[in-house]
Amino acid sequence: MKDWTGVLHLNVEDKRGKTVAKNVYFKGAFKVMRPIYHDDTGRACYYLLNPGGGYLDGDRYQMKISLEKNAKLTLTTQGATKVYKTPRNHAYQESEFLLEAGSLLEYIPDPLIAYQNANYKQKNVIRMDKTATFVYSDIITPGWSPEGDHFSYHSIQLLNEIYIDDELMVYDHIKLTPSIQNIRGLGFMEGYTHLGSMIVVGCQSDSGLLERLYSMIEVNTNDCKVGLSSLPVPGFTIRMFSHSTQVIEKIFSEIHHVISEEWFQRKPCFLRKY
């Protein structure tokens, strides 16, 4: 695709136990901050920046992230991804992630906020070695509209493809189109306003971990509805309905803590944005 609004290419490598940038390239309305090291594990954390403040009609963004052997990276955004009205053409973001043997990528963006008359498509393609670990979450939040309607956007489409050793193993597709769907009904949002998804792939995953997560989730389901499913590869996916971004973030954070402490004997970084 030509005429990208913003482009970001980032390649990181492990150097004596510390993850450092090997190549960084960005252009247009897409930038990345210098890496931050929150602890002594050598894991790098990068914050993605959108100087334009939001996605507008016809915007196109491309991101390519590559982790070499044993590299460990946390990738997040500076703030929520805001999609404003797109009267002529949808906004689009395309991301490709390459994870080599023993690498770890945590991709934890802030919520996606779709405002009135917004159309947005997002495609993530993950190509990973079977010994790599991938942690991803997203939250869809309805934006403000003059009438106060939670579902005033036209369409949101999120697609995730995960290839392990070049074989497609996970295909996750969400498409919400309030104009033609009974978005509040059974099989869609079911009376809730916020949707969260989490995908975790790692050879460390086992049935014991899933049982512990089930027990933890059951304690926190007063204001939400949560489903947890194992994947055809070691790992799991979570889908969550709520009326609040904070409720989803809290549960996802607790799950992230369990994974980090059990798999890597560390707590996840506190990604403070304020």
Question: pLDDT at position 43, please?
Answer: 94
28 in Cβ contact with 51 (< 8 Å):
no
Percent of residues, the chain, with pLDDT higher than 90: 75
pLDDT per position as a tens digit, 90-109: 999 999 999 999 999 999 99
pLDDT reading at 82 higher than 90:
yes
What is the amino acid identity at position 139? I
pLDDT tens digits for range 31-40: 999 999 988 8
Give the pLDDT band of residue 187 (cuts 50, 70, 90): confident
76 domain-assigned: yes
48 within a domain of the structure (yes/no)? yes
Residue 267 has pLDDT above 80, yes or no: no
Residue 10 · residue 21 · CB < 8 Å: yes
| Whether the predicted model's global pTM rises above the 0.85 cut | yes
Distance CA 113, CA 115 (A): 6
Q: β-pairing, 81-83 with 112-114? A: parallel
Phi, psi angle pair for 186, to nearest 5°: -65, 135
Q: Is residue 274 part of a domain?
A: no
pLDDT at 143: 80
Domain assignment of residue 24, yes or no? yes
The residue segments making up the domain with residue 36 are: 6-264
Q: Provide mean pLDDT across the span 155-170.
A: 96
Please check the confidence at residue 253 and state whether its pLDDT lies above 80: yes
Whole-Å CA distances, 154 to 54, 170, 203: 17, 27, 39
pLDDT at res. 8: 96
| CA-based radius of gyration for the chain | 18
pLDDT of residue 145 exceeding 80, the answer is: no
Query: For residue 129, what pLDDT band results from cuts at 50, 70 and 90?
Result: very high
pLDDT reading at 53 higher than 80: no
- Please indicate whether residue 184 or residue 272 has the higher confidence score (pLDDT): 184
Confirm whether 272 is domain-assigned.
no
**Average pLDDT score, the chain:** 91
Tally of domains within the chain: 1
Q: Is residue 81 part of a domain?
A: yes
Sequence-separated (6 or more) residues with CB below 8 Å from residue 93: 55, 60, 61, 62, 63, 120, 121, 122, 123
What pLDDT sits at residue 182? 87
Confidence check: pLDDT of 273 > 60: no
Please check whether residue 89 lies inside any domain of the structure: yes
The pLDDT confidence band at residue 23, using thresholds 50, 70 and 90, is very high
pLDDT confidence bin for 147, thresholds 50/70/90: confident
Could you say which DSSP state residue 150 is in? Answer: T
Q: Is residue 269 part of a domain?
A: no
The pair of structure tokens assigned to 7 is 């482009």
